[in-house]
């Protein structure tokens, strides 16, 4: 198993990429700390892992709050003894996110608090734990929009994911000689509840799909497979990467006819 004897903390583990990654990590031998602000969803993830014979705990945390992030790391270490993999995955895409003119300050601030500050706080408290374990892997969920602008305006989200990508690059350089790898996972558009709530009309969906060479939205399970690679020792020489899993969208981004 590719994560045998490793301990992984996953934020946003109650749904989407986080949920599928938690199940996959446990299947590959990791003990999983499943973190989510939604207690029912997070507990369900843990129950499914345990039912399959895996090891997991649920930790309720709001990643925009320092005390919650500090506690999620402490709880993971006190339960499992160490931390080897930190997947800073929790994030939002607000339905009212738009262009600069039409995006409210409240939507901007909330998006930055969760998507950017949440990753910062995860690293702030998680990196000392990885040092105590002798190194490890951090995966931060960014997005293909960190490389390209989005066809459908979502300025706060795009700016937040650009910040995650640049933060990841700097952290990777700072901690490379401590045996701590830091990579940005940049998914393309996925058929997840998060995106489907935002692309809430057929017209919005088609405007996004027209850019994807594969002609479909990705699945969260496909992204989980990429996270597994970045978490495992198979990616031992990979750090500071903009790890695109996007169905080809960044290689053929064109204006729809």
CATH code, 67: 3.40.50.720
Helices (H), the chain: 16-27, 39-51, 66-80, 105-112, 118-132, 155-175, 193-198, 202-209, 220-231
Q: What is the pLDDT of residue 254?
A: 53
Q: Is residue 211 a part of any domain in this protein?
A: yes
Domain around 172: 7-244
Q: Is residue 254 a part of any domain in this protein?
A: no
Helix 16-27 vs helix 39-51: crossing angle, to nearest 10: 20
Give the distance, in angstroms, between the CA of residue 50 and the centroid of all CA atoms in the same chain: 22
What 3-state DSSP class applies to 55?
strand
Structurally, the chain folds into a number of domains equal to 1
Q: What is the pLDDT of residue 106?
A: 98
| pTM, full prediction | 0.95
Q: What is the pLDDT of residue 257?
A: 46
Q: Is residue 255 a part of any domain in this protein?
A: no
Q: Is residue 105 a part of any domain in this protein?
A: yes
Q: Is residue 84 a part of any domain in this protein?
A: yes
Q: Is residue 32 a part of any domain in this protein?
A: yes
Q: Is residue 250 a part of any domain in this protein?
A: no
Residue ranges of the chain with per-residue pLDDT less than 50: 255-257
Show which residues are catalytic.
157
């Amino acid at each position: 198993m590719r994560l045998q004897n490793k301990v992984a903390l996953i934020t946003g583990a109650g749904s989407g990429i986080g949920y599928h990654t938690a199940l996959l990590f446990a299947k590959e031998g990791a003990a999983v700390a499943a973190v989510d602000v939604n207690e029912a969803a997070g507990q369900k993830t843990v129950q499914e892992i345990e039912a399959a014979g895996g090891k997991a705990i649920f930790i309720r945390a709001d990643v925009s709050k320092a005390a919650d992030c500090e506690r999620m790391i402490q709880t993971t270490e006190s339960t499992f003894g160490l931390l080897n993999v930190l997947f800073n995955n929790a994030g939002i895409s607000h339905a009212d996110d738009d262009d600069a003119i039409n995006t409210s300050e409240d939507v901007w601030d909330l998006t930055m608090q969760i998507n950017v500050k949440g990753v910062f706080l995860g690293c702030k408290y998680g990196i000392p734990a990885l040092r105590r374990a002798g190194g490890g892997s951090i995966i931060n969920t960014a997005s293909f929009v960190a490389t390209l602008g989005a066809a459908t305006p979502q300025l706060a989200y795009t700016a937040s994911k650009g910040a995650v990508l640049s933060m990841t690059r700097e952290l990777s350089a700072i901690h490379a000689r401590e045996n701590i790898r830091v990579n940005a996972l940049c998914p393309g558009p996925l058929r997840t509840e998060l995106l489907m709530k935002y692309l809430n009309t057929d017209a919005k969906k088609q405007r996004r799909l027209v850019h994807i060479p594969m002609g479909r939205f990705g699945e969260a399970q496909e992204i989980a497979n990429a996270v597994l690679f970045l978490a495992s020792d198979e990616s031992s020489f990979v750090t500071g990467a903009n790890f695109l899993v996007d169905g080809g969208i960044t290689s053929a981004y064109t204006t729809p006819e």
